[in-house]
Amino acid sequence: MRKTLIVIQGPTGIGKTKLSIGLANYFNTEIISSDSRQLFKELSIGTAVPSPDELNQIPHHFIHSHSIHENYNASRFESEAIKLITDLFETHSTVILSGGSMLYVDAVCNGIDFQPDVDPEIRKQLTREFEETGLEHLRLKLKQLDPAYYQKVDLKNPKRIIRALEICMMTGKTFTSFRTKTVKQRPFKIIKIGLNMDREQLYNRINKRVDQMMEEGLEDEVRRVFPYKNLNSLNTVGYKELFAYLDGEITKEKAVELIKRNSRHYARKQLTWLRKDENIHWYEPHQTNEITKFIEISIAE
């Protein structure tokens, strides 16, 4: 029987962890997290890492496996995850990949263009330039170094502009030259399950989860990593809003309001991305029996 990777996707807060654990128990397998923030060992509450009880039920991988101080990206995740999947297939006929970082999932399923590790000093330099001279300065620099990517990139997104400039400055080549978008053929079957639900219901779940995170001590967690707030690994919802609060820019109430709003926006962005994938089979989180039966039939085909 051909080895099968079961991919569980969906917006933040919809219940991917619960479904993945249930399926892992049923298929007697292990879970690889494809969440680009849950892999950082310094972060737990704000990244909604599975509880100790959930982690004890099923072996999980890429949970608290790396540090926020590492220069980690989707290219590196592809390499490490594919090696792990290959190893797990030695003893399992199925493996589950679950998480909301769309680029990480895409890297495993389709491959991602190689991107060299960046010199931290270059990143510090560009971040300092952004803070001191603004985004327009970096836009003009990108237009000069890589005019092709300048025409494609979201010019309002400093993270993407800085990333492209890092590659240009370190390699002497354009960022575009690394973007071949060649789809890699994997030696295993891939079954993709997407979770969705009524939009208002999803937003209510997200809002309640943010409140729960605050009750569990998210502010204290953010305070512990506050000295490293400029790290790319901490440029994420739940942390950057509370950084602004700790910097005295906004009130705590406003920060919580923004975390909820930005989490809802991220969920909408995730669904927009996922709907473009015609290979995803959509269900609601409570349809566990239907999902399990579909996977069984698909594996047998």
Q: Output the pLDDT for position 140.
A: 94
Q: Taking the complete model, does pTM exceed 0.85, yes or no?
A: no
Average pLDDT of the chain is: 93
Tell me the mean pLDDT in the region 129-146: 93
Report how far residue 169's alpha carbon sits from residue 174's, in angstroms, rounded to the nearest whole number.
9
Q: Output the pLDDT for position 74.
A: 87
According to DSSP, the residues that pair with 94 across neighbouring strands are: 4
**100-126: buried (b, 16+ CB within 10 Å) or exposed (e) per residue?**
bbbebbbbbbbbbeebeebeeebbeeb
Among 21-25, 116-120, 200-204, 274-278, the minimum mean pLDDT is found in 116-120
SS (H, E, C) the chain: CCCEEEEEECCCCCCHHHHHHHHHHHHCCCEEECCCCCCECCCCCCCCCCCHHHHHHCCEECCCCECCCCCCCHHHHHHHHHHHHHHHCCCCCEEEEECCCHHHHHHHHHCCCCCCCCCHHHHHHHHHHHHHHCHHHHHHHHHHHCHHHHHHCCCCCHHHHHHHHHHHHHHCCCHHHHCCCCCCCCCCEEEEEEECCCHHHHHHHHHHHHHHHHHHCHHHHHHHHHHHCCCHHHCCCCCHHHHHHHCCCCCHHHHHHHHHHHHHHHHHHHHHHHCCCCCEEEECCCCHHHHHHHHHHHHHC
Please, what are the domains in the chain?
Answer: 4-113+182-300 (3.40.50.300), 120-178 (1.10.20.140)
- Going by pLDDT thresholds of 50, 70 and 90, the confidence category of residue 238 is very high
pLDDT at 220 over 80: yes
pLDDT at 276 over 80: yes
- Going by pLDDT thresholds of 50, 70 and 90, the confidence category of residue 249 is very high
Q: Output the pLDDT for position 1.
A: 66
Among 27-31, 172-176, 181-185, 195-199, the minimum mean pLDDT is found in 181-185
- Going by pLDDT thresholds of 50, 70 and 90, the confidence category of residue 121 is confident
225 against 100, higher pLDDT: 225
152-191 pLDDT, tens digit each: 888 988 888 998 999 899 888 898 887 767 788 999 999 9
- Going by pLDDT thresholds of 50, 70 and 90, the confidence category of residue 194 is very high
78-105 pLDDT, tens digit each: 999 999 999 999 999 999 999 989 989 9
Report how far residue 174's alpha carbon sits from residue 276's, in angstroms, rounded to the nearest whole number.
28
Residue 4 burial class via C-beta count within 10 angstroms: exposed 0-12, middle 13-18, buried 19 and up: buried
Q: Output the pLDDT for position 86.
A: 97
